Amino acid sequence: MSTAEEADPPNQVGGTGDAAREAPESAPPDVSPKPDAAFAPYWSKRLAHVMLHEGRAWDDVRAFFKSVVAGLASLDDLRPEWRTASDQSEPCTASATEKYPTPGTKADFERKRRTYCIEIAYFGEAFIGWQKQKGLRTVQGTLEAALQPLVGGCGRAASVVCSGRTDKGVSASSQVGVFYAWTDLDEADVLARLNAAGGPEQAIRVCAVQRVARSFHPCYHATQRRYVYVLPLRKEEGQQCTQVGECHVFLRDHLHPSKFDGICVGVNVAAVNSLLQQLEGRMLDYRAFARVPEVEPVESTECRLSVARAGLALLPSFRESASGHRAGGEVMMVELIGNRFIRKLVRILVATAIREAAWAGQPGWHEGLLVDLLHVKDNRVSSAPAPATGLVLAGVSYDGISATSLEQSEPQELTTGGE
């Protein structure tokens, strides 16, 4: 079974649970329910690949994410143009786990099963996704193999559950997971074993280990998740064109010039931001921007994004050029924070916003285009996903979750299944 990039079930605890049950906005009467978009007829899978993959400094993004995983850099180093003093992201450090609920009663300590929380950073391209798959290197499989000697003494298999599975190539700077044990563990020993599992390339870094409330679940108790997408820009991109062919003309091999006269075929960052801003704070059905397989149905495709924005940022380079110098490059940074995400939502949303921003300023273009497409509820209106290389799970929030609230929902006795 393939892994899912952003596959989170509805929240069961916390403030966003009620919001997730709200009725999504209905389509306005003037929206024509056709699987079409202004630039979509010319945006084939081949064109999307050329536009989003080719000629971009993806190696610089890979090098930067590796440095973030290794603890040598932070996503804050991107310094997006919207950044303020309040926009500091929480680093992956030993003190970060203080935000998770700790065991609160003596009865909690006396129960047989222990729950340990780990905060993890990993480089996505070193793994075939999060979910364990036989014969393949995955994040979950690597962590469970390292934990087995510690928790396998009771004849039980090690099991690690995370806040949301990530797809092949997607990185994480602050993934949250839990595993179970039936004896007290030395947290320093656990930390050392898990970090050694990352191999010489340091593909995994476990930032902290902490025993938490027995019923704490990193996925079901999460109230918000934060994703960051980084797209390296070509030197001609980042602003709206003032004349045809000003930004980039490499697409002439793929499009007849008459079909895109007056359309910017680069990345218009300001227009992407304008489109994304219309999604903030609204309960919307994102079925059109997801790829939900029939074998893995979800209860709902409704999500609320509290933050949806894009801006120019500067990528610090951790890759030496042939001359031995290190130089940063301009990127578009997209930040999305929401109560839940469904499969491939972030990457499809980013690619579709880039596509629709390409004809900003033309007749019929308006900032609500993405909302209009969502109302169609047909994934033929959306683009192929943007490259997984640029996506990172940047944080998970558990606001309002305490040991007391978890204890009230805990079973009184240990079940035969290990719960």
For 108-151, how does the pLDDT look when each residue is reduced to its tens digit (9 = 90+)? 444 578 889 999 999 999 999 998 888 899 999 999 999 998 88
Pairing of strands 391-397, 171-181: parallel
What percent of the chain has a predicted confidence (pLDDT) above 90? 33
pLDDT for position 7: 52
Coil/strand/helix, residue 264: coil
DSSP class of residue 96? Answer: G
Given this structure, which CATH class describes domain 86-222? alpha beta
Residue 102 to residue 213: CA distance in whole angstroms: 5
Residue 375 to residue 390: CA distance in whole angstroms: 27
* Domain chopping of the chain, boundaries: 26-84+225-396, 86-222
Residue 354 to residue 272: CA distance in whole angstroms: 6
Residue 33 vs residue 195, higher pLDDT = 195
Specify the CATH number for 26-84+225-396; select among 3.40.50.11440, 3.30.70.660, 3.50.50.60, 3.40.1210.10: 3.30.70.660
Residue 184 has pLDDT above 90, yes or no: no
Residue 187 to residue 207: CA distance in whole angstroms: 11
- Two tokens, residue 251: 């697409």
Average pLDDT over residues 292-316: 81
Coil/strand/helix, residue 42: helix
* pTM (two decimals): 0.79
Coil/strand/helix, residue 301: coil
Give the phi and the psi of residue 115 in degrees, each rounded to 5: -115, 125
